[in-house]
């Protein structure tokens, strides 16, 4: 059963702990995509959303009004939308808080970087295409296999629908990128997956950012419940070095720009590039 609750937000923009972002904006708490590897569970303040991950979502119903008030006194910067939820999960179809927040931010001189697994983001192509130089859209692709995706992100739209969304946004000349991750040992760390993702990057003109699974407490529990052995989740640096090298080779072969979130293994030809703008 899905639970949706509305609460008032006291703040809209939060200072981001991520180096490439100034602020984060999360219109929802909890996420119906229900990813088994989700690090955001341990960062979500709402108890019910945390304890019923993937089945309970909180709508911060007045966030657009709060945002309009807040931005008059805030320095302009880069806003990540979203950092602990998917801004285009199914409830956004009804509440449109991400759409309205996006419009407010872009119309007021902020830059916005979106990360999602949902083709619903295409709905907002009108806003995005009016602010092409100050926004981008990242689509997460853990695997191109619908069967694999169903195991680790059971509530998320299919990989094929995400690829179609990327293609459509790209055809509108909206800047796009792909997040390839989290990469899990023995699951999606193979050359065929990396090669397919690079091909999509080429056809959509997207940059690729990749990262491995992070062993957050609740994510570890959920992944083990889904049948992943500890050794595939706590894989060592030699494995990651080898996988990063393989991804770097595939990227070079296809002239795709990449960034690793672990800079130590960044493709040296790409080092120093921001994922944004
Ligand atoms: S889409 Fe993101 S926030 Fe939502 S469950 Fe998956 S990893 Fe977590």
d(CA 177, CA 180): 10
Decide if 276 is inside a domain: no
Residue 5: DSSP 8-state: E
pLDDT digits (tens, 9 = 90+) for 1-16: 999 999 999 999 999 9
Residue 158: DSSP 8-state: P
Would the CB of 115 count as within 6 Å of ligand 1? no
Beta bridge partners of 7: 60
Average pLDDT, the chain: 94
Quick check: 271 pLDDT over 70?
no
Decide if 67 is inside a domain: yes
Decide if 200 is inside a domain: yes
Quick check: 275 pLDDT over 50?
no
CATH, residue 106: 3.20.20.70
User: What's the whole-model pTM score?
Assistant: 0.94
| Ligand 1 center to 25 CA (angstroms) | 15
Give the pLDDT confidence score for residue 17 in this predicted structure: 85
Would the CB of 35 count as within 6 Å of ligand 1? yes
Most ligand 1 atoms within 8 A of CB, residue of 2, 35, 117, 119 to mutate: 35
Decide if 275 is inside a domain: no
| Ligand 1 center to 143 CA (angstroms) | 15
Identify the three-state secondary structure at position 110: coil
Would the CB of 86 count as within 6 Å of ligand 1? yes
Would the CB of 117 count as within 6 Å of ligand 1? yes
| Ligand 1 center to 156 CA (angstroms) | 8
Identify the three-state secondary structure at position 168: helix
Decide if 72 is inside a domain: yes
Would the CB of 275 count as within 6 Å of ligand 1? no
Decide if 239 is inside a domain: yes
Mean of pLDDT values over 242-264: 89
Task: Please report, in angstroms and rounded to a whole number, the separation of the first and last CA atoms in the chain.
Answer: 40
Would the CB of 189 count as within 6 Å of ligand 1? no
Q: Which domain holds residue 107?
A: 3-270
Would the CB of 33 count as within 6 Å of ligand 1? yes
Of 195, 207, 196, nearest in space to 261 by CA:
207
Decide if 95 is inside a domain: yes
For 3, the enclosing helix (H) or strand (E) is: strand 3-7
Decide if 277 is inside a domain: no
Query: Domains in the chain: how many in total?
Result: 1
């Amino acid at each position: 059963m899905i639970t949706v609750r509305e609460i008032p937000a006291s703040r809209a923009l939060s200072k981001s702990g991520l180096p490439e972002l100034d602020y984060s904006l999360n219109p929802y708490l909890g996420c119906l995509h229900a990813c088994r590897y989700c690090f955001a569970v341990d960062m979500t303040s709402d108890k019910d959303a945390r304890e019923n991950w993937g089945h309970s979502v909180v709508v911060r119903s007045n966030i657009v009004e709060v945002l309009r008030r807040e931005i008059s006194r805030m320095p302009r910067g880069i806003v990540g939308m979203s950092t602990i939820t998917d801004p285009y999960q199914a409830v956004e179809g009804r509440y449109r808080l991400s759409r309205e927040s996006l419009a407010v931010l872009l119309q007021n001189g902020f830059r916005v970087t979106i990360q999602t697994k949902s083709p619903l983001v295409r709905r907002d192509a009108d806003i995005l295409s009016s602010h092409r130089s100050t926004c981008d859209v990242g689509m997460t692709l853990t695997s191109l296999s619908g069967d694999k995706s169903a195991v680790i992100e059971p509530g998320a739209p299919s990989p094929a629908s995400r690829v179609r969304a990327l293609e459509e946004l790209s055809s509108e000349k909206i800047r796009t990128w792909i997040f390839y991750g989290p990469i899990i040992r023995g699951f999606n760390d193979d050359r065929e997956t990396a090669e397919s993702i690079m091909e999509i990057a080429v056809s959509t003109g997207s940059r690729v950012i990749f990262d491995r699974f992070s062993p957050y407490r609740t994510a570890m529990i959920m992944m083990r419940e889904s049948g992943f052995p500890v050794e595939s989740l706590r894989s060592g640096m030699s494995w990651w070095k080898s996988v990063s090298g393989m991804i770097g080779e595939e990227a070079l072969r296809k002239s795709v720009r990449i960034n690793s979130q672990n800079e130590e293994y960044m493709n040296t030809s790409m080092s120093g590039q921001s994922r944004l703008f």
